[in-house]
A and B are shown apart, each in its own frame.
Chain A
Amino acid sequence: MTFDMPGCGGCCTCEIACSFRHTGVFKPSVSSIKIINREDNEPGFRVLIVDSEEEGGIVCDGCKDYEEPFCVEICHKKEDLQKIIKEYLNAREQEAKGR
């Protein structure tokens, strides 16, 4: 699931943080969040939240056992990312209800 995030600077610290929380190791290749280029290839970044294992990472659970997702905690634009995670979790919930 991908989201626009105009304020993202592409530092990818969220990817590092996510893998650390879920595995105890800094290993962004398995993280639930990926920063990707914009589809039109213009400057700026988008956020991909992993919602299936086929996307190459741990499926995002919104850090349900924690007060705050670590990616959000460490992000300079945390309000923007928080919104994205909420939107993602809502979409997942709706999807589950629809099944």
Chain B
Amino acid sequence: MINEEEIFGYAGKILRVNLGNGRIATEPTIRYAREWLGASGIAVKILYDELRSWVTPYDPANKLIFGVGPLIGTTAFGANKLSVSTLGPMTGGWASSHSDSYVGGQIKYAGYDAIVLEGKAHSPVYLWIHDDTVEIRDASHLWGKTTWETLDLLRKDFNDPKLHIASIGPAGESLVRGACIIQDKGRAFGRCGTGAIMGSKNLKAIVAKGTGGIKVADPKRFQKAASQCRSMFKNVKTRDSFYKYGLLSILPRKQEVCGVNYKNFQECCIPDDMLDVVDPKKTIDKYEVAHQSYPGCGYGGCSRILHITEGPYAGLVTETNQWETFSTLHTRLAVREPTFMLKAQALCNQMGLDVDAAGGAIGWAMECYQRGIIDERDTDGVPLNWGDADAALEFIRKMAYREGFGDILAEGCARAADIIDRGSSYYAMHIKGQDLYEPCRGCLGWCLGTATSTRGGGHTTGAPVFETVPGLDVEKTREVYGVDNPDKPQEYEGKAKLVYYGEVLQRINNSFGVCHYNTAYYDANLPSLTEHAELYSALTGWETSVEDLRRLAMRQLNVEKAFNLRFTDFDRKDDMPTPRDMNEPIPSGTLAGWKIDEEQYNKMLDEYYDLHGWDRETSYPTRKALSDLGLKEVADDLEKIGKLR
């Protein structure tokens, strides 16, 4: 008999809000938490069970779930990642994203481990959560506003300068497929288009404030484990540069290993003379005015607030971007103005548009323009030359409002290429319909993890990042990941195993609400599954081993897979890299001439399927693999639709 009252680590309740009929209810978290771990675990269980196969992403019957992991709100390292999951408009399948900030903690202190948003409001609304008070409020004065304006207006309305919100901008309201949700002003739920789902529900924002507490099963044990984890950060070689520059510190290493997206992946390095011009460290040093960090971060933060005082974007005050914006917009579009990355990210955040969706679509368009596939007759009279920052910013705005050619780009590069056709799809760099941002050539673990990701082209559900970042501790990585060659990104051997470990670790991070960069995802000296198991056991009082975590993560992955099989036609072909990555050798740099070997890639993919107990020919799971994870009902479901092997 489950005691529904006594639960540690979790807040204890799941909030269900039907925006269509106004019904607000709660249910005990314990109904899910033992078998469906944390934020993304509970979300995948609810979405898989409750979405019928006829539901489409923008259907009011779709559900959007915010999940607060069990470590959020505690002193655990990096525990600040709020999760959001849904049936997504970008791939048409599993969509899940995580973003670091304060809203997750507030939701949890208010008493909720998750918010399940159902139905569609008849007019624009926002959700106000203050402990037991949950209200659906009119947002007509906020509709049409940017996320920055929305935050300022709500803080004014509530007379609370420390109010934290998650909101959408014009892109979410316009149902841009790559629209994202933004926390406050600077932190995005990137990829997957979750902002468009929020927009489809007429939900402008979630505003949360909590005053309650989170109980710990064994406070002394938790305190000891959390302190030990924090002490591990001193072993990270790149700790100081990460604290100062965040992921922008990795540019020299990325350039060295051909890991930079230049001109929509035509090249994997930027020209040497551009390297010095755009050096993001110099930009940070020049314009830094304040530090920025989020709850629990073991580095003490990875961000800065910058005030640009000169140049085309003088006057802009914004949080610094991380590597993704730099690679997917700045270098991809070959822009040389060093502050463009800040302006482009600020604009994307204001519009509530994913930087990768913007970079993917505009990068594709610029390459099509370069090749004469499209011209000014397609692009509203705007030349789309590489390096044209003004044109890039104009099309970010046009995408967000679905204006002119921006309406086509708002569909994402894969669909935009289908609409334009003329042989342009080769230049649409995507996996499963979701835009890519970082080269897959030259680093095979990353390539395999990105290509097989259930959310499509994502790097937070299996792809190992350490292959191409500085400071790799080879011995420690061997020990944690169990492979002999973590320092050999161009070797096919061991990569399936590497991705499998990454799938488990990254799912546990996502479930617990922990930033990947605070874990062995980034540096093997940082906490891994062993430390997670100890912390979770101490927090909840449920003794949990590394093997338990592996099983729980694999249950999630297999249900994500089954979710995709229900809503899409994905199979083995969708686990392959893009045609460009398969066909073209790396054109320049230290790996010039290196090319993915198709036969060897396929052998690596076979090995990956074998590790999961999935069929090599179709990628579908086998009954045995699902049954071993206690997912017999899922096997029965897949059998009914002919997708079980």
**Chain A residues packing against B (C-beta within 8 Å):** 6-13, 16-17, 19-20, 23-30, 36-37, 41-45, 74-77
What residues of chain A lie closer than 8 Å to B223, measured between beta carbons?
A: 20
B305 close to chain A: CB less than 8 A: yes
* Cα(A21)–Cα(B295), bound, Å: 17
Q: Are A11 and B294 in contact (CB under 8 A)?
A: yes
What residues of chain B lie closer than 8 Å to A43, measured between beta carbons?
A: 289-290, 292, 305, 307, 317
What residue in chain A is nearest B220 (Cβ atoms)? A24
Q: Are A25 and B296 in contact (CB under 8 A)?
A: no
Q: Contact check: which of A25, A74, A75 meets B213 at CB < 8 Å? A: A25
* Cα(A43)–Cα(B290), bound, Å: 6
The 4 closest A-B pairs by CB, nearest first: A76-B300, A9-B293, A27-B213, A9-B291
Q: How far is the CB of B162 from chain A (nearest CB, A)?
A: 7
What residue in chain B is nearest A77 (Cβ atoms)? B300
What residues of chain A lie closer than 8 Å to B305, measured between beta carbons?
A: 43-44
Q: Are B289 and A9 in contact (CB under 8 A)?
A: no
Q: Are A23 and B213 in contact (CB under 8 A)?
A: yes
What residues of chain B lie closer than 8 Å to A23, measured between beta carbons?
A: 213
What residues of chain B lie closer than 8 Å to A36, measured between beta carbons?
A: 162
The dominant DSSP class at the B interface is loop
What residues of chain B lie closer than 8 Å to A44, measured between beta carbons?
A: 289-291, 305
Q: Are B291 and A13 in contact (CB under 8 A)?
A: no
Q: Are A28 and B317 in contact (CB under 8 A)?
A: no
B201 close to chain A: CB less than 8 A: no
* Cα(A74)–Cα(B34), bound, Å: 30
The dominant DSSP class at the A interface is loop
What residue in chain B is nearest A12 (Cβ atoms)? B295
What residues of chain A lie closer than 8 Å to B73, measured between beta carbons?
A: 16, 26
Chain B contributes a number of interface residues (CB within 8 A of A) equal to 35
B82 close to chain A: CB less than 8 A: no
What residue in chain A is nearest B230 (Cβ atoms)? A74
- Given A25-B216, A26-B213, A44-B289, A11-B295 contact (CB < 8 Å): yes
B299 close to chain A: CB less than 8 A: yes
Q: Chain B, 472-484, contact with A by CB distance < 8 Å: what is the 0/1 string?
A: 0000000000000
What residues of chain B lie closer than 8 Å to A45, measured between beta carbons?
A: 290
* Cα(A24)–Cα(B75), bound, Å: 12
What residue in chain B is nearest A34 (Cβ atoms)? B162
What residues of chain B lie closer than 8 Å to A77, measured between beta carbons?
A: 300
Q: How far is the CB of A73 from chain B (nearest CB, A)?
A: 8
Q: Chain B, 264-303, contact with A by CB distance < 8 Å: what is the 0/1 string?
A: 0000000000000000000000000111111111011101
What residues of chain A lie closer than 8 Å to B243, measured between beta carbons?
A: 76
Q: How far is the CB of A31 from chain B (nearest CB, A)?
A: 11
Q: Are A7 and B109 in contact (CB under 8 A)?
A: no
- Given A26-B73, A26-B74, A19-B213 contact (CB < 8 Å): yes
What residues of chain B lie closer than 8 Å to A27, measured between beta carbons?
A: 109, 211-214
Q: Are A20 and B75 in contact (CB under 8 A)?
A: yes
Q: Are A37 and B161 in contact (CB under 8 A)?
A: yes
B31 close to chain A: CB less than 8 A: no
* Cα(A7)–Cα(B304), bound, Å: 11
* Cα(A75)–Cα(B295), bound, Å: 11
B219 close to chain A: CB less than 8 A: yes
B102 close to chain A: CB less than 8 A: yes
What residues of chain B lie closer than 8 Å to A8, measured between beta carbons?
A: 291
What residue in chain A is nearest B214 (Cβ atoms)? A26
* Cα(A16)–Cα(B102), bound, Å: 12
24 contacts between A and B (CB under 8 A): A9-B293, A9-B300, A10-B291, A11-B296, A12-B102, A13-B295, A13-B296, A16-B73, A16-B75, A16-B105, A19-B213, A20-B219, A24-B219, A25-B215, A27-B213, A28-B105, A29-B109, A29-B212, A37-B161, A41-B161, A42-B290, A43-B289, A43-B307, A76-B293
What residues of chain B lie closer than 8 Å to A30, measured between beta carbons?
A: 213
What residues of chain B lie closer than 8 Å to A74, measured between beta carbons?
A: 75, 230
What residues of chain A lie closer than 8 Å to B75, measured between beta carbons?
A: 13, 16-17, 20, 26, 74
Q: Contact check: which of B212, B216, B292, B307 meets A24 at CB < 8 Å? A: B216
What residues of chain A lie closer than 8 Å to B292, measured between beta carbons?
A: 9-10, 43
What residues of chain B lie closer than 8 Å to A17, measured between beta carbons?
A: 75
* Cα(A67)–Cα(B356), bound, Å: 48
